[in-house]
Structure 1
Amino acid sequence: MTQEALPLYLQIANELRRNISDAIYQLGDQLPTEAELSARFGVNRHTLRRAIEILRHEGLVRIDRGRGTFVASAPITYPIGKRVRYNEALKAQGLKVSRKLLHLAEIPADPSLAKRLELPVGSSLILLELLSFADDRPISVGTSYFPAARFPHFADQWGQYQSISRLLQQEYGCDHIRRSTRISARMVQPNDAKLLELPLNAPILLTESINVDQQEQVIEYGVTRFRGDRMELVFENEII
């Protein structure tokens, strides 16, 4: 079937797909508005939306409600394995990984945190909150809690490493092993939306993890909010 014989929405999808392939619209670029594209192709918005939906299904574009349609990147794969190796997993995909410290403090353990970390209520905890980037684009906000008695001078050491696993290993001789991870889909909260550069109604992937050392003692409870449009979480066989 020739291009001209195809339904209009397929012709539009093919044309936009070529535009992306030819780098007329590059990764991260916003496509013209629905009104502009409808005028360009001489169609109504319903026809245009059918074309855009094809490209969205193919993973070529993403739709940020309230913002527009953007050329999408392939999802970043984060393997959920026995050991926690966040930086290494992303660097292995050719990504530049960086982190911004949002919060580092000592807090008392409330009943919920104490239960997860298997500590008495009121125990001193280290709170570490980080905004993570891949190729300078925000991908996750992570909040971790550690027993302060187990990791003295943690705050003084953090700036030298920027990696939780390397810090625990090199300063405390402590392995960083995943005991469990729970994943759920949520709508982004206002503060995280600002940090992750997402609209308020965007979906995120939320993980809750319990991590232990080589003696099976709990050393970390972590909650991470990933951009749902950029991250793909994959469980490895070793922890299934």
Structure 2
Amino acid sequence: MHREDLPIYTQIVEELRQKIKQGVYQVGEKLPTEAQLSEHFAVNRHTLRRAIAILKSEGLLRVDQGRGTFVVGKPIQYVIGKRVRYNKSLIAQGQKPNFQLLQVVERLADASIAQKLEIEVGACVALIERLAFADKQPLSISSHYFPLDRFPEIIKEEGIQFLQEKGSISQLLRQLYNCDHIRHRTHVYARIIEHLDASVLEVPLNHPILLAESINVDGDGKIIEYGMTRFRGDRMELVFEN
């Protein structure tokens, strides 16, 4: 069957799919408006919406109410295994990981943080918050808490510079403290994104996220980190590995 013999909505699907594949419309990019696309294809909005619905079902497009239609790339799989290896996981899938430090500060542990790290309430902790990207697209926001009495340099110039240059907390712990970074327990659940995170991750307020709370330990099994990461639900898949 020739292309011109296909239903018009199918022709629209094929053209848009091809443009996404060729990078004319890139991941994260907003498509032209319904009115503009309807005019371009010389169809009514009902026909256009039928085509958009097919591409949405294929996982190529995302429709945000009130914001428009966006190109969605193939979800990135992040393996939750014994070792904390975020960068390697993305690189293996052809993605280029990078990070933006949002804050590196000293805090006093509240009851919840103290319980997670098994330290006294009011003890000093380091908080590192980072925005993670893959090929310049925001993927997640993570908050990492460390007992400051064990890792005092982590919030000083040397630690901050290392994170900015290397982007790896696991490497930072090995470099400064010869400390292993092993995943002990991870709890994952879904929730609607909070306002501040939505702004940073560039998604609407009704957008789902995957929230992963992790407890990590050193080679002797002592707790060294409590982490909370908010992953974009449309861009990430978490895979658990024994």
Q: So what's the TM-score if we normalise by structure 1?
A: 0.89
Residue in structure 2 matched with residue 10 of structure 1 by the alignment: 10
Contact 2:208-2:233 at 8 Å conserved across structures = yes
CA contact (8 A) 2:79 2:238 kept: yes
Contact 1:84/1:176, CA 8 A, preserved across alignment: yes
Assess if the C-alpha contact under 8 Å between 2:28 and 2:137 holds in 1. Answer: no
Distance 1:127 1:27, change over 3 A: closer
Alignment partner of 1:173 out of 149, 160, 178: 178
Instruction: Find the counterpart in structure 1 of residue 120 from structure 2.
Output: 120
1:155 deviation in Å? Answer: 1.2
Query: Helix, strand or coil for the counterpart of 1:29?
Result: coil
Displacement of 1:110 in angstroms is 1.0
Amino acid at match of 1:38: S
The superposition leaves residues 90-147 of structure 1 with CA deviations (integer Å, 9 ceiling, x where unpaired) of 2222322221211111211111111111112112111111111222222111101111
Query: Compared with structure 1, are the counterparts of its residues 94 and 15 closer, same or farther at alpha carbon in structure 2 (3 Å cutoff)?
Result: closer
Deviation at 1:7, TM superposition (A): 4.5
Q: Does 1:211 find its partner at 2:211?
A: no
2:232 is matched with which residue? 227
For 1:66, give the aligned amino acid.
G
CA contact (8 A) 1:66 1:199 kept: no
Q: Distance in 2 between matches of 1:24 and 1:129?
A: 34
Structure 1 residues 153 and 22, CA gap change in structure 2 (3 angstroms): closer
Gaps of 5+ in 2: none
Please provide the CA RMSD for this pair.
2.1
- 1:55-204 equivalence runs, <5 A: 55-156=55-156, 157-162=158-163, 163-204=168-209
Change (3 A) 1:199 1:169: same
The letter for the 2-side match of 1:127 is: L
Structure 2 residue identity aligned to 1:196 = L
2: CA distance, partners of 1:114 / 1:40: 59
- Structure 1 residues 124, 21: closer, same or farther in 2, change over 3 A? closer
Q: Give distance in 1, aligned partners of 2:132 and 2:218.
A: 24
Distance between the aligned counterparts of 2:227 and 2:77, measured in 1? 19
After superposition, the Cα gap between the structure-2 partners of 1:166 and 1:26, relative to the gap in structure 1 and judged at 3 Å, is closer
Query: What is the SS of the residue equivalent to 1:153?
Result: helix
2-structure distance, mates of 1:17, 1:91: 25
Number of aligned residue pairs: give it: 237
Could you give the per-residue CA deviations for residues 160-198 of structure 1, whole angstroms, max 9, x where no partner exists?
422210111121121111111111222221211221122
Q: What SS class does the counterpart of residue 154 from structure 1 fall into?
A: helix
Partners in 2 of 1:185 and 1:158 — Cα distance? 32
TM-score, scaled relative to structure 2? 0.88
Aligned 8 A contact 1:65 1:201 in 2: no
Q: Using a 3 Å threshold, how does the CA distance of structure 1 residues 158 and 31 change in structure 2: closer, same or farther?
A: same
